[in-house]
Amino acid sequence: MLRLILGGCCAVLLLANVALAHFGMVIPSASLVEDKQNAAITLELSFSHPMELVGMPLVAPAGFQVVLDGKAEDLKSGLKEIKVMDHQAWSAQYNVQKPGVYQFVMEPTPYWEPAEDCFIIHYTKTILSAFGEEEGWAEPVGLKTEIVPLTRPFANYAGNVFQGQVLVDGKPAPGIDVEVEFYNRDKKYSAPHDACITQTVRTDPNGVFTYGVPFAGWWGFAALTTSTEKMDFEGQPKDVELGAVLWTEFLEPVRN
Protein backbone atom coordinates (compact mmCIF):
# COMPACT_ATOMS: atom_id res chain seq x y z
CA MET A 1 0.00 0.00 0.00
CA LEU A 2 2.83 2.41 0.89
CA ARG A 3 4.43 1.75 -2.51
CA LEU A 4 1.16 2.56 -4.27
CA ILE A 5 0.78 5.80 -2.34
CA LEU A 6 4.37 6.84 -3.04
CA GLY A 7 4.02 5.91 -6.70
CA GLY A 8 0.85 8.01 -7.00
CA CYS A 9 2.52 10.96 -5.31
CA CYS A 10 5.50 10.73 -7.68
CA ALA A 11 3.17 10.68 -10.69
CA VAL A 12 1.39 13.82 -9.46
CA LEU A 13 4.70 15.57 -8.85
CA LEU A 14 5.99 14.64 -12.29
CA LEU A 15 2.79 15.94 -13.94
CA ALA A 16 3.03 19.18 -11.96
CA ASN A 17 6.61 19.67 -13.15
CA VAL A 18 5.81 19.29 -16.85
CA ALA A 19 6.76 22.56 -18.56
CA LEU A 20 3.74 23.57 -20.59
CA ALA A 21 4.16 26.16 -23.32
CA HIS A 22 2.23 29.43 -23.10
CA PHE A 23 0.25 30.57 -26.12
CA GLY A 24 -1.66 33.75 -26.79
CA MET A 25 -4.70 32.74 -28.81
CA VAL A 26 -6.88 34.49 -31.38
CA ILE A 27 -9.31 31.94 -32.81
CA PRO A 28 -12.03 33.00 -35.29
CA SER A 29 -15.23 31.04 -35.86
CA ALA A 30 -14.09 30.51 -39.47
CA SER A 31 -10.79 30.84 -41.31
CA LEU A 32 -12.52 31.36 -44.66
CA VAL A 33 -15.54 33.48 -45.56
CA GLU A 34 -17.09 32.38 -48.84
CA ASP A 35 -20.53 33.99 -48.80
CA LYS A 36 -22.51 36.59 -46.87
CA GLN A 37 -24.27 33.94 -44.80
CA ASN A 38 -21.08 33.25 -42.81
CA ALA A 39 -19.65 36.79 -42.93
CA ALA A 40 -20.37 37.45 -39.23
CA ILE A 41 -17.23 36.24 -37.46
CA THR A 42 -16.79 35.63 -33.75
CA LEU A 43 -13.22 35.78 -32.43
CA GLU A 44 -12.08 34.37 -29.09
CA LEU A 45 -9.00 35.85 -27.42
CA SER A 46 -7.39 33.84 -24.64
CA PHE A 47 -4.14 32.72 -23.05
CA SER A 48 -3.51 29.05 -22.41
CA HIS A 49 -1.69 25.78 -22.79
CA PRO A 50 -3.84 24.71 -25.76
CA MET A 51 -2.98 21.03 -26.13
CA GLU A 52 -3.68 20.26 -22.47
CA LEU A 53 -6.57 22.78 -22.27
CA VAL A 54 -5.09 24.51 -19.25
CA GLY A 55 -6.26 28.11 -19.24
CA MET A 56 -4.74 31.23 -17.72
CA PRO A 57 -6.35 34.64 -17.21
CA LEU A 58 -6.09 37.11 -20.05
CA VAL A 59 -6.66 40.59 -18.67
CA ALA A 60 -7.99 43.22 -21.06
CA PRO A 61 -5.59 43.29 -24.03
CA ALA A 62 -3.51 46.39 -24.61
CA GLY A 63 -4.65 46.34 -28.23
CA PHE A 64 -6.80 44.43 -30.69
CA GLN A 65 -7.10 45.35 -34.35
CA VAL A 66 -7.74 44.07 -37.84
CA VAL A 67 -5.44 45.00 -40.71
CA LEU A 68 -6.86 45.07 -44.25
CA ASP A 69 -5.02 46.43 -47.30
CA GLY A 70 -2.37 47.93 -45.00
CA LYS A 71 -4.90 49.88 -42.93
CA ALA A 72 -5.59 49.06 -39.28
CA GLU A 73 -9.02 49.25 -37.62
CA ASP A 74 -9.16 49.34 -33.82
CA LEU A 75 -11.45 46.62 -32.43
CA LYS A 76 -10.55 46.89 -28.75
CA SER A 77 -13.67 48.81 -27.74
CA GLY A 78 -15.85 45.94 -28.96
CA LEU A 79 -14.27 43.27 -26.75
CA LYS A 80 -16.56 41.48 -24.30
CA GLU A 81 -15.35 39.43 -21.35
CA ILE A 82 -16.01 35.68 -21.53
CA LYS A 83 -14.59 32.46 -20.10
CA VAL A 84 -12.29 30.15 -22.07
CA MET A 85 -10.97 27.06 -20.29
CA ASP A 86 -12.57 28.45 -17.11
CA HIS A 87 -10.44 31.60 -17.18
CA GLN A 88 -10.89 35.24 -18.12
CA ALA A 89 -10.89 35.72 -21.88
CA TRP A 90 -12.47 38.00 -24.48
CA SER A 91 -14.63 37.82 -27.58
CA ALA A 92 -15.28 40.15 -30.48
CA GLN A 93 -17.76 40.24 -33.33
CA TYR A 94 -16.67 41.31 -36.79
CA ASN A 95 -18.75 41.54 -39.96
CA VAL A 96 -16.73 40.95 -43.11
CA GLN A 97 -17.95 43.44 -45.68
CA LYS A 98 -15.77 42.93 -48.74
CA PRO A 99 -13.19 40.64 -50.35
CA GLY A 100 -9.79 40.76 -48.73
CA VAL A 101 -7.22 39.16 -46.47
CA TYR A 102 -7.93 40.17 -42.87
CA GLN A 103 -5.16 40.02 -40.26
CA PHE A 104 -6.50 40.06 -36.69
CA VAL A 105 -3.85 41.09 -34.16
CA MET A 106 -3.83 41.07 -30.35
CA GLU A 107 -1.25 42.81 -28.19
CA PRO A 108 -1.73 41.56 -24.62
CA THR A 109 -1.05 43.33 -21.38
CA PRO A 110 2.26 41.93 -20.04
CA TYR A 111 1.70 38.74 -18.03
CA TRP A 112 3.87 38.06 -14.98
CA GLU A 113 4.96 34.41 -14.82
CA PRO A 114 6.48 33.66 -11.40
CA ALA A 115 7.55 30.15 -12.44
CA GLU A 116 9.85 31.66 -15.08
CA ASP A 117 10.64 34.88 -13.20
CA CYS A 118 9.76 37.00 -16.22
CA PHE A 119 7.00 38.86 -18.01
CA ILE A 120 5.38 37.36 -21.11
CA ILE A 121 4.06 39.35 -24.07
CA HIS A 122 2.71 37.30 -26.97
CA TYR A 123 1.86 39.33 -30.07
CA THR A 124 -0.79 37.07 -31.53
CA LYS A 125 -2.46 37.05 -34.93
CA THR A 126 -4.60 34.99 -37.26
CA ILE A 127 -5.28 35.58 -40.94
CA LEU A 128 -8.65 35.16 -42.65
CA SER A 129 -9.50 35.13 -46.37
CA ALA A 130 -12.85 36.51 -47.55
CA PHE A 131 -14.75 35.99 -50.78
CA GLY A 132 -11.86 34.35 -52.61
CA GLU A 133 -9.31 37.12 -52.11
CA GLU A 134 -5.75 35.90 -51.45
CA GLU A 135 -3.56 38.97 -51.94
CA GLY A 136 -1.55 40.22 -48.98
CA TRP A 137 -1.32 37.23 -46.66
CA ALA A 138 2.50 37.42 -46.62
CA GLU A 139 2.59 41.10 -45.60
CA PRO A 140 3.95 41.90 -42.11
CA VAL A 141 1.82 44.23 -40.00
CA GLY A 142 4.74 45.89 -38.20
CA LEU A 143 4.65 44.27 -34.76
CA LYS A 144 7.61 44.23 -32.38
CA THR A 145 7.91 40.58 -33.32
CA GLU A 146 5.74 38.52 -35.67
CA ILE A 147 5.57 35.44 -37.85
CA VAL A 148 5.14 36.21 -41.54
CA PRO A 149 3.73 33.13 -43.27
CA LEU A 150 5.55 31.76 -46.29
CA THR A 151 2.82 29.16 -46.77
CA ARG A 152 -0.69 30.49 -47.39
CA PRO A 153 -2.13 30.60 -43.84
CA PHE A 154 -5.62 29.37 -44.75
CA ALA A 155 -7.24 26.70 -46.98
CA ASN A 156 -4.54 24.17 -46.12
CA TYR A 157 -4.96 20.43 -45.75
CA ALA A 158 -3.85 18.50 -42.71
CA GLY A 159 -0.53 16.90 -43.66
CA ASN A 160 0.72 20.00 -45.47
CA VAL A 161 4.09 21.50 -44.61
CA PHE A 162 3.86 25.00 -43.13
CA GLN A 163 6.62 27.61 -43.29
CA GLY A 164 6.94 31.01 -41.71
CA GLN A 165 9.59 33.67 -41.19
CA VAL A 166 10.17 35.13 -37.73
CA LEU A 167 10.80 38.86 -37.58
CA VAL A 168 12.06 40.83 -34.59
CA ASP A 169 12.06 44.60 -35.05
CA GLY A 170 11.34 43.94 -38.72
CA LYS A 171 14.44 41.79 -39.26
CA PRO A 172 14.74 38.00 -39.72
CA ALA A 173 15.54 36.18 -36.47
CA PRO A 174 17.90 33.18 -36.96
CA GLY A 175 18.29 30.33 -34.46
CA ILE A 176 14.99 31.00 -32.68
CA ASP A 177 12.94 28.22 -31.09
CA VAL A 178 9.38 28.02 -32.43
CA GLU A 179 6.96 26.11 -30.20
CA VAL A 180 4.05 24.40 -31.93
CA GLU A 181 0.83 23.19 -30.32
CA PHE A 182 -2.56 21.90 -31.36
CA TYR A 183 -5.72 23.48 -29.95
CA ASN A 184 -7.25 20.34 -28.52
CA ARG A 185 -10.64 21.89 -27.72
CA ASP A 186 -12.65 18.74 -28.52
CA LYS A 187 -10.25 16.62 -26.44
CA LYS A 188 -9.84 14.42 -29.49
CA TYR A 189 -6.17 13.65 -28.92
CA SER A 190 -3.81 12.83 -26.08
CA ALA A 191 -0.05 13.12 -26.30
CA PRO A 192 1.72 9.73 -26.11
CA HIS A 193 4.43 11.33 -23.96
CA ASP A 194 4.66 14.65 -22.12
CA ALA A 195 7.52 15.65 -24.42
CA CYS A 196 5.10 15.47 -27.37
CA ILE A 197 2.68 18.08 -25.99
CA THR A 198 4.73 20.95 -27.42
CA GLN A 199 6.59 20.41 -30.68
CA THR A 200 9.70 22.54 -31.28
CA VAL A 201 11.47 23.60 -34.45
CA ARG A 202 14.17 26.21 -34.96
CA THR A 203 14.56 29.01 -37.48
CA ASP A 204 17.30 28.82 -40.10
CA PRO A 205 19.81 31.64 -40.85
CA ASN A 206 17.02 33.53 -42.65
CA GLY A 207 14.60 33.25 -39.74
CA VAL A 208 12.51 30.59 -41.55
CA PHE A 209 10.98 27.56 -39.83
CA THR A 210 9.24 24.49 -41.29
CA TYR A 211 6.68 22.18 -39.71
CA GLY A 212 4.65 19.28 -41.12
CA VAL A 213 1.14 19.44 -39.66
CA PRO A 214 -0.01 15.89 -38.76
CA PHE A 215 -3.77 16.29 -38.33
CA ALA A 216 -6.64 18.72 -38.84
CA GLY A 217 -7.59 21.61 -36.56
CA TRP A 218 -6.18 24.88 -35.30
CA TRP A 219 -2.40 24.99 -34.82
CA GLY A 220 -0.40 27.67 -33.04
CA PHE A 221 3.20 28.67 -33.77
CA ALA A 222 5.03 30.71 -31.12
CA ALA A 223 8.51 32.09 -31.83
CA LEU A 224 10.16 33.08 -28.57
CA THR A 225 12.79 35.75 -27.98
CA THR A 226 13.89 37.87 -25.03
CA SER A 227 13.44 41.62 -25.16
CA THR A 228 16.50 43.84 -24.85
CA GLU A 229 14.47 45.93 -22.40
CA LYS A 230 13.43 44.84 -18.91
CA MET A 231 10.27 45.55 -16.94
CA ASP A 232 9.92 46.36 -13.25
CA PHE A 233 8.39 43.84 -10.85
CA GLU A 234 8.25 44.89 -7.21
CA GLY A 235 11.27 47.12 -7.65
CA GLN A 236 13.36 44.57 -9.53
CA PRO A 237 14.14 44.61 -13.28
CA LYS A 238 12.88 41.43 -14.93
CA ASP A 239 13.29 39.84 -18.35
CA VAL A 240 10.47 40.00 -20.89
CA GLU A 241 9.70 36.99 -23.09
CA LEU A 242 8.41 38.13 -26.46
CA GLY A 243 6.31 35.72 -28.46
CA ALA A 244 5.41 36.04 -32.12
CA VAL A 245 2.32 33.84 -32.34
CA LEU A 246 0.37 32.79 -35.41
CA TRP A 247 -2.75 30.59 -35.47
CA THR A 248 -3.89 28.86 -38.62
CA GLU A 249 -6.43 26.15 -39.42
CA PHE A 250 -5.72 22.94 -41.31
CA LEU A 251 -8.61 21.02 -42.88
CA GLU A 252 -9.62 17.51 -43.81
CA PRO A 253 -10.89 17.03 -47.38
CA VAL A 254 -14.59 16.31 -47.73
CA ARG A 255 -15.30 12.69 -48.67
CA ASN A 256 -17.86 12.15 -51.43
- Kindly write down the DSSP assignment for every residue of 119-183, as one continuous string: EEEEEEEEEEEETT--TTTT-----SEEEEESS-SSSEETT-EEEEEEEETTEE-TT-EEEEEE-
The H or E element containing residue 4 is helix 2-16
pTM value surpassing 0.85: yes
Q: What is the pLDDT of residue 11?
A: 37
Return d(Cα 168, Cα 229) in angstroms, integer: 13
SS3 state at 14: helix
Whether 50 contacts 21, CB under 8 Å: no
Q: Quote the CA–CA distance of 13 and 11 in Å, as a whole number.
A: 5
Average pLDDT over the chain reads: 91
Kindly give the confidence (pLDDT) of every residue in the chain, 256 residues in length, as a single tens digit, with 9 standing for 90 and above: 334 333 333 333 333 444 568 899 999 999 999 988 889 999 999 999 999 999 999 999 999 999 999 999 999 999 999 999 999 999 999 999 999 999 999 999 999 999 899 999 999 999 999 999 999 999 999 999 999 999 999 999 999 999 999 999 999 999 999 999 999 999 999 999 999 999 999 999 999 999 999 999 999 999 999 999 999 999 999 999 999 999 999 999 998 9
pLDDT for res 138:
96
CA distance 36 to 214: 32
164 in Cβ contact with 150 (< 8 Å): yes
